[in-house]
Amino acid sequence: MSSESVVPPVVRPRRLRTTPALRRSVAETSLEARQLILPVFVREGLSEPHPISSMPGVVQHTRDSVRRAAAEAAELGLAGIMLFGIPEHKDAIGSGAVDPDGILNRVIADVVAEVGDALPVMADLCLDEFTDHGHCGVLTADGRVDNDATLEIYAEMARAQAAAGVDLVGPSGMMDGQVAVVRAALDGAGHTDVAVLAYSAKYASAFFGPFREAVDSSLQGDRRTYQQDPANGREGVREALLDVAEGADIVMVKPALAYLDVLRRVRDAVDVPVAAYNISGEYSMVEAAAAHGWIDREAAIWETLISIRRAGADLVLTYWAAEVAGWL
């Protein structure tokens, strides 16, 4: 075929990819500091931050170091900080979770005192860090997680966190009816302004592995009887709709990357903000591959987070939040 017979294309999508500035101007999805939430772990009894070996760059904080992390997050303009407490002592009912002097409630007060209204302070509302068996609820005599008995403790935990000054509580145990019970407990105690960020579609995922180290988990068995089956997508939407009906102010999909389809479905189904949690295993895979020189770390982080935003997340919980906000 001669060159004269080739008809040049009229439509050339590549025209809009010519320069970095042009690509930036037509980008369909943005990534901003105000969309990123930093999850942090605070361990009782530490005198200095303790590195988490399976999550390079992430630590278990002391009460002092988490205040500094919160102040930095506020200065960077992050969407919030999500607090996880790790107690020195655990028991079968997770009593440290409702103790006003327990590590999580003390840390909430510490961080609120540090940042005031400059940064939304959020706290995980679950028993798994506080129980000696590692489950998200109390157990029956035959070892099953007792949904309704657990809800009573969640209500008490919500009141304790609100009294400590939290802005948003994050019920994450996947107990049926947890949002309704937490909302009623907060309102009944006069904490009507405390919002609920519901872990609505939370799957029984292998990618939670490094998180077990991060919270010193003592889990026995697995959580498949209450966390969702990875095979189910429609069920994630159903859970989110139930949580919205029960009073959730924000709903969340967790994990993010293996469930981008669920995230998209949830975003299309609800009229409240949607969050997604870029979890420990997703973080650690990128860090491990980058450490071996197999991928470009910064580019992979950016692509990971932009994919979660593109799938529909208004907010992204990520251990890279502060670092990426610094890039922005």
CB-CB contact of 50 with 40 (8 Å): no
DSSP state at residue 101 = T
Radius of gyration of the chain (CA): 21
Which residue in 128, 111, 118 sits closest to 166, CA to CA? 111
- Residue 299's SS3 state is helix
CB-CB contact of 276 with 317 (8 Å): yes
DSSP state at residue 139 = B
Q: Which residue shows structure tokens 């509580």?
A: 169
Phi, psi of 255 (to 5 degrees): -70, 180
Q: C-alpha dihedral over 42, 47, 51, 52, to 10 degrees?
A: -40
**Of the listed 61, 90, 133, 202, which one is catalytic?**
202
Element (H, E) at 234: helix 234-246
Q: Is 290 exposed, middle or buried (0-12, 13-18, 19+ CB in 10 A)?
A: middle
**Of the listed 67, 159, 191, 254, which one is catalytic?**
254
Q: Does 90 qualify as catalytic in the annotation?
A: no
CB-CB contact of 167 with 197 (8 Å): no
CB contact set of 165 (below 8 Å; sequence gap of 6+): 108, 109, 112, 113, 121
Query: 80 has which bridge partners?
Result: 37
The residues carrying an active-site annotation are 202, 254
